[in-house]
Amino acid sequence: MTATILITGGTGKFGRQFVRHFANKGWQILFTTTSQNNADSLIKELADDSCLIPLIVDFTQPQAALELVKRIKDDGYRVNHLVNNARSRSFLQTDSLGQASREDFLAEYLLDVVVPYELSMALLNTQPSELITITNIGSQYGIVAANPALYEEYPKQSPIQYGVAKAALIHLTKELAVRFAKLDIRVNCIAYGGVSGRVDECFEARYAQLNPSGRMLSDSDIIGPLDFLVSDNCKAINGQTIQADGGWTLW
């Protein structure tokens, strides 16, 4: 039986890699995005829409997560694996002092913590026997504070709301793992390190000096941890955060 996976933020930097990987495995993929154009672009890029079901949703709207799960159920889909990956870089603003507004702080927390909670609970309440795993996509900055030496304009370039929300996501993972364990639903988190592609060469060079592996992650590096956590070989792993950061959090 073909597995069905729901990937939120499916057209972002991480999401595109996740969607591509599971499409290649022949899974049925439900993926969320805020843009129909981005959804169409991804489907065209993969050149195979047979297993891809785009879901246009704005998670900042009240009841969005609950309405999405109802829509999925009404359309006859059953989710086996949930990947909480949705985010918005627009909430990572800071002022001239490197401080975050209340609005951006709350919006970042909403997407990183509240929405994953709402989606997880909604799936539990509507289809507990089909759900197998939940994987939350976190960050090394949910484990350690940002290193000022990495930035030219710290703390302006290191928004505090990001790390605080990712830390809360790690604890949400633990709480849900305990609450869902009796139903054999595994909940884990992946704390990824920085991925090459969005920063300039100077930033990458500074990052390399601060990381034991001597480099940022590549797009291909992000697939392995998620593929492992959703596999049958991972039944002993529950409530854990895999630090997929090339060793960043060792120092």
Provide the CATH number for the domain around residue 226: 3.40.50.720
The per-residue pLDDT for 49 is 64
Torsion of CA 213, 215, 217, 219, to 10 degrees: -130
Tell me what the mean pLDDT of segment 194-201 comes to.
94
Q: How confident is the model at residue 47 (pLDDT cuts 50, 70, 90)?
A: confident
Per-residue pLDDT tens for 215-241?
A: 999 999 999 999 999 999 999 999 999
Distances in whole angstroms, Cα of residue 128 to Cα of each of 100, 134, 159, 198: 38, 12, 37, 38
Nearest to 189 by CA among 156, 142, 119, 247: 142
pLDDT above 90: percentage of residues in the chain: 97
Which residues lie across from 137 on neighbouring strands? 190
Q: What is the 3-state secondary structure (H, E, C) of the chain?
A: CCCEEEECCCCCHHHHHHHHHHHHCCCEEEEEECCHHHHHHHHHHHCCCCCEEEEECCCCCCCHHHHHHHHHHHCCCCCCEEEECCCCHHHCCCCCCCCCCHHHHHHHHHHHHHHHHHHHHHHHHHCCCCCCEEEEEEEHHHCCCCCHHHCCCCCCCCCHHHHHHHHHHHHHHHHHHHHHHHHCCEEEEEEECCECCCCCHHHHHHHHHHCCCCCCECHHHHHHHHHHHCCHHHCCCCCCEEEECCCHHHC
Q: Are 239 and 178 in contact (CB under 8 A)?
A: yes
Distances in whole angstroms, Cα of residue 159 to Cα of each of 105, 163, 233: 9, 8, 37
Distances in whole angstroms, Cα of residue 134 to Cα of each of 39, 53, 143, 210: 23, 19, 20, 31
Per-residue pLDDT tens for 57-102?
A: 999 999 999 999 999 999 999 999 999 999 999 999 999 999 999 9
Residue written as token pair 């969607």: 19
The per-residue pLDDT for 147 is 97
The per-residue pLDDT for 48 is 67
Domain that holds residue 80: 4-250
* Cα(154)–Cα(202) distance, integer angstroms: 15
Q: How many domains does the chain divide into?
A: 1
